Chain A
Amino acid sequence: DVKVTQSSRYLVKRTGEKVFLECVQDMDHENMFWYRQDPGLGLRLIYFSYDVKMKEKGDIPEGYSVSREKKERFSLILESASTNQTSMYLCASTWDRWNYGYTFGSGTRLTVV
């Protein structure tokens, strides 16, 4: 089975800190995604990448950046954490968006205080 691993399950950070969320997949998938999930708002796409060193903005990229230096790793960076970035962050990967949907990581629940 494809495994998507997010480095932290729970994280508490202070306002203004730079925060790194790490995601690693083990199945040589081209496509990787970062979503955040909030009650009443559902899953919203932050950034995605379809190749090493490639990145594309999703629907809500403000306040975030990403890095993909290696195919298996896709990092989400909160440049200066704010309380409105408190959320569940979900990483996903897929080989073929058309046919196979995503495999999600277990998620990182980030609290910014």
Chain B
Amino acid sequence: QKEVEQNSGPLSVPEGAIASLNCTYSDRGSQSFFWYRQYSGKSPELIMFIYSNGDKEDGRFTAQLNKASQYVSLLIRDSQPSDSATYLCASYSGGGADGLTFGKGTHLIIQP
């Protein structure tokens, strides 16, 4: 059974600080990883994906992948109140026409 685990939170971070969101996955065959942001009452929107070990940066967002530890993280620099949302981590194992496996999400609150 493929699983993606996230701390549900809420994770409270002051405005301007770095928010760090973490995710672990059970399937060693997982090949690519995705971070989605979901505002309350809205559908998830893709922020970043990563498939190589190391860091990937896009604006204020940095995704980090460590396949040996089966660990994925998302860093949000200079956090803004508009970053307050639930962040979903997802993995794709490939090898067939199956879907992404999602974690249950971490609720992030940026305090002004």
Q: Which residues 25-50 of B sit at the A interface, judged by CB distance below 8 A?
A: 31-32, 34, 36, 42-46, 49
Which listed residue (A35, A45, A102, A105) contacts B46, Cβ 8 A? A102
Count chain B residues whose beta carbon lies closer than 8 angstroms to a beta carbon of A.
23
Chain B interface, >50% SS class: loop
Distance A101 CA – B36 CA, assembled complex (angstroms): 9
Q: How large is the interface on A (under 10, 10 to 19, 20 to 34, 35 or more residues)?
A: 20 to 34
- Contact: B102 with A98, CB < 8 Å? no
Q: Which residues 35-71 of A sit at the B interface, judged by CB distance below 8 A?
A: 35, 40-43, 45, 48, 50, 56, 58
- Contact: A98 with B100, CB < 8 Å? no
Chain A interface, >50% SS class: mixed
Report B20 CB to chain A, min CB distance, Å.
21
- Contact: A48 with B46, CB < 8 Å? no
Distance A105 CA – B44 CA, assembled complex (angstroms): 9
4 more A-B contacts (CB under 8 A) besides A41-B104, A102-B46, A106-B42?
A97-B100, A99-B51, A101-B36, A104-B44
| Chain B interface residues (CB < 8 Å from chain A) | 31-32, 34, 36, 42-46, 49, 51, 88, 90, 92, 94, 97-100, 102-105
